[in-house]
Amino acid sequence: MRKKLTALLIGLMAGLLPLSSHAAKTPAKPEPFSATPEVRDFILEMHEQHGFDVAHLTRQFASIHANATVLRAIQPAAVPEQQRSWQRYRVRFVNEKRLSSGLRFWQENSAELTRAAAIYGVPQEVIVAIIGVETEYGRNMGKFGVLEALATLAFNYPPRADFFRSELEQFLLMARENGISPLEIKGSYAGAIGIPQFMPSSQRRFAVDFDGDDKIDLRGSTTDAIGSVARYLNMFGWQAKAPIAIPARVEGDPLALIAAGFKPSLPLQDLLKQGVSTLNNTEQLAEQASTQPAALIDLVTPDQPTEYWIGFDNFYVITRYNRSSFYAMSVFQLAEALREAQSVKAQ
């Protein structure tokens, strides 16, 4: 009976149950999420499982509706080959603008980066590179209302509805824990938040109050963002002072090695017996890492020779941030460029 009364209350607040049969007709407007039965069920679940106030949560969902721009943005590219062009992808992130801005970011946050590297074992240049690739050092954190974006994908995008429904739940919990209205938080079209673009579940699990102000603020605190990126990589198994990737050449058909994926599974010395070889200037590093697990990475560009790399466990850890070999290689190459430029500045 109590559940039925709660559902009745949600229906009344959503404007679904008319108070009078003679109510005047009004022009059609986008239907608020609170009018959707699936959303009303979700509100009940949040009340029953986490103690959320039904009336308050219903009002919040009544102020948002499905966002067509979000649904367009989440769709896969119409032309499949556009998804696989390493050179087109690389130039977006490994360029002079992100390099110069990254060096400035590094200089401005040197103490925080040094501390994060010491605690979590992640090189400073890798932390800087991830933040550079994600939001250009905090310049592009997203302008979508995260509540509306996540609700749109949770209730209007069936291919990944379960994932985004879970993230919506985590987001509401995160907002309550931090004393912030969920309607005030902006992020990406997919619901990623702040300088490092953490999904809500990642923020709740991995983010850290690195500036010691008793709250986690990934939008407003660069220090929290730096510590959280380093902790995220550390929690996924980052190995301090271990290699990330080295360039390679391939003889014969590498299809079976590529099909094995980018999670390292073969000792490097075994991989090198299967038609894979390192370039001359990386032979010493390959010898030092001969017993470490490795994987063959292919970076494809249409109408150009495929670029091959050997990826180690740390390369795979970067893909836990974004499950793409293109992404991980962009982070690695930007990090290397930053490290080299920083070294030249220090001389």
List, for residues 7-37, the tens digit of each pLDDT value. Answer: 545 554 545 444 444 444 555 668 999 999 9
- Beta-strand ranges (E) seen in 80-148 are 144-145
Closest by CA position to 231, among listed 264, 258, 198, 255: 198
- What single-letter DSSP state applies at residue 25? P
Domain extents in the chain: 245-311
pLDDT at 99 over 60: yes
Segment 220-242 shows an average pLDDT of 97
Closest by CA position to 121, among listed 208, 195, 232, 222: 232
Q: pTM value? A: 0.89
List, for residues 295-343, the tens digit of each pLDDT value. Answer: 999 999 999 999 999 999 999 999 999 999 999 999 999 999 999 999 8
d(CA 149, CA 64): 9
pLDDT at 64 over 80: yes
Q: Which of 45, 81, 125, 134 is catalytic?
A: 134
pLDDT at 1 over 70: no
Per-residue confidence at 104, pLDDT binned at 50, 70, 90? very high
pLDDT on residue 10 = 52
- Beta-strand ranges (E) seen in the chain are 144-145, 186-187, 245-250, 266-267, 276-278, 293-299, 307-311
pLDDT on residue 3 = 55
pLDDT on residue 186 = 97
- Of 311 and 81, the structure prediction assigns the larger pLDDT to 311
pLDDT on residue 224 = 98
Segment 168-190 shows an average pLDDT of 96
81 given a catalytic annotation: no
pLDDT on residue 28 = 60
